[in-house]
């Protein structure tokens, strides 16, 4: 029997010894870390590869892949990863947004609150479940309300860190609307905290971005009054 440890296995074991890295909710940057050639492989090919690899994970765990309930799981997981919970990684899925003239001359803040989203923690690939509250003051253009929801969902559907998600939504809205007067608040529960590790099921995480006119105590108080936070 060969008891030698390969270099790959040594690297993996070293990773296990440093398993605390990532538990401190590190925020590495605004952009989601992606390989330069991330989209050279088609979605269909990615699904095939993920299915093969996930089947190997299930086999290592000791699951019986001939069981009727399990044998289709690798393909289901692959489809879910590409078409659903990580679909926000692919720029082709970015929502198309049309702007309209602010003919109503509405110059106060517009708030879309309680946008439910599901994301996944990039440290452990377990769910982040929360609500996003988005506000902006028109600079002459307005956006369809459903598009605010779609922008939140697009950035949520990728492995995430809550701080990055908050800033990505804010930067996207600033670019689309042509204004710095944007606010984003996210209130979320992280299953990497509640279902593993410390196993605290009662805590939640709140992050906020206040840009332009929103970055004053008066506007923050007004917004929070609307949200009843």
- Active site residue ranges: 121-124, 162, 190, 192
Distance, in Å, from the CA atom of 52 to the CA atom of 74, rounded to the nearest integer, reads: 7
Strands 159-160, 109-121: pairing is: parallel
| Residue in 147, 160, 165 with CA at minimum distance from that of residue 94 | 147
For tokens 């804010």, the residue is: 170
Neighbours of 105 (CB within 10 A): 8
| Residue in 131, 121, 226 with CA at minimum distance from that of residue 187 | 131
């Amino acid at each position: 029997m060969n008891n030698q440890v390969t270099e790959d296995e040594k690297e993996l074991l070293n990773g296990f010894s440093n398993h605390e890295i990532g538990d401190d909710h590190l925020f590495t940057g605004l952009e989601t870390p992606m390989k330069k050639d991330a989209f050279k492989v088609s979605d269909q090919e990615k699904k095939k590869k993920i299915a093969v690899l996930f089947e190997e994970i299930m086999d290592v765990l000791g699951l019986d892949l001939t069981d009727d309930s399990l044998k289709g799981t690798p393909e289901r997981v692959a489809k879910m990863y590409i078409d659903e919970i990580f679909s926000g990684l692919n720029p082709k899925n970015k929502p198309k947004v049309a702007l309209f003239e602010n003919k109503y001359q509405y110059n106060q803040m517009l708030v879309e609150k309680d946008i439910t989203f599901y994301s996944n923690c990039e440290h452990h690939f377990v769910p982040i479940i929360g609500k996003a509250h988005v506000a902006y003051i028109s600079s002459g253009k307005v956006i369809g309300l459903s598009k605010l929801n779609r922008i939140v969902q697009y950035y949520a559907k990728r492995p995430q860190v809550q701080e990055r998600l908050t800033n990505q939504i804010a930067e996207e809205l600033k670019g689309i609307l042509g204004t710095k007067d944007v606010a984003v608040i996210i209130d979320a529960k992280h299953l990497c905290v509640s279902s593993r590790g410390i196993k605290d099921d009662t805590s939640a995480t709140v992050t906020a971005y206040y840009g332009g006119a929103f970055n004053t105590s008066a506007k923050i108080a007004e917004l929070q009054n609307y949200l009843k936070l």
